[in-house]
Amino acid sequence: MTLSNLNGNAANEAVSTPAAAAQEPPALKQTSYGIYRQLALLDRRVHAGKRVRPLTDWSLARETNAVFASVVEFYDIAREYPIAFVVVGRNDKNQPIVTPVAMLGLKDGQNVYIDAAGQWSAQYIPAFLRRYPFSLVQTVDNQMGLGVDEAWEGFNDTDGELLINDAGEMTPFMQRVLSFLDNFEQDVQRTRFFCDKLVELNLLRAGEIGGQLANGETVKAQGFFLIDEQKLRELPDATVLELFRNGMLGLINAHLVSVGQVPQLARRVLPTPAAQ
């Protein structure tokens, strides 16, 4: 099935069909990653009566120092976070596959945008996190379905939005969730196209992202890539015009502007504790 079909018949498959109600939900290829601890396919029988509370405590992302950033979000993210690129694999031509991330910290395991009370201290929260506790998931037979993190304490039997009604159908709330996830996956595809173009034009360079903390400590994050402004200036005029007309030049500029957020990010970083 395609992701866009999830708004139709695939939506029913995502929560399993009535004919399959007595069967176990399909196994997932991956049941945990990042902040997701126990992903399960949403099932009209198993999850009947389940609810989710609004997510207000972001402590679960306290150790997440970077998250996926879609190109649709670049302008919002660039106002508050640095955007960098990371290599996530190789394609069949042995070229790097890169993806953009919003940087939430400069140290491993430290998200500087979550305060002591678990509140997010920036205005914009990346969509990758706003999906939680839901996500589109892939089953072992390569079908797409709607997953939920059963380990989250906000996934419960009494409080919050109902997921499946008495007729075994997704509630309007879940329909909105599914629409959000479907749009997110489409944005992922747009982002991949943009990143493939950056690789094709050889516009990325490896670089350290760092700054100086209030106590004078220098901190650097490695393993990231940035757009090389010199290579950008050397592009043929026809290529620059193409990037301008397809909107990619604006995305490139948003990334370059976002790098200016690094000093602000560094000011938020907690200093390394003094040795005892």
Q: For residue 247, is pLDDT > 80? A: yes
Rounded-to-integer distance, Cα 71 and Cα 83, Å: 10
- Residues 58-70 pLDDT 10s: 999 999 999 999 9
Q: Which residues contact 100 (CB under 8 A, 6 or more apart)?
A: 68, 69, 70, 71, 74, 83, 84, 85, 191, 195, 255
The pLDDT of residue 218: 74
pLDDT band with cut points at 50, 70 and 90 for residue 252: very high
Contact present, 193 and 243 (Cβ < 8 Å): no
The winner for highest mean pLDDT among 101-105, 165-169, 221-225 is 101-105
Q: For residue 102, is pLDDT > 70? A: yes
- How many other CB atoms sit within 10 Å of the CB of residue 96? 16
- How many other CB atoms sit within 10 Å of the CB of residue 4? 12
The pLDDT of residue 223: 84
The pLDDT of residue 75: 97
Q: For residue 19, is pLDDT > 50? A: no
Name the residue ranges covered by the structural domains of the chain.
Answer: 66-111+201-269
Phi–psi pair at 33, nearest 5 degrees: -165, 140
The pLDDT of residue 263: 87
Q: For residue 47, is pLDDT > 90? A: yes
- Residues 178-216 pLDDT 10s: 999 999 999 999 999 999 999 999 999 998 777 666 666
The pLDDT of residue 38: 92
H helix or E strand, kind and range, residue 210:
strand 204-212
Q: For residue 91, is pLDDT > 90? A: no
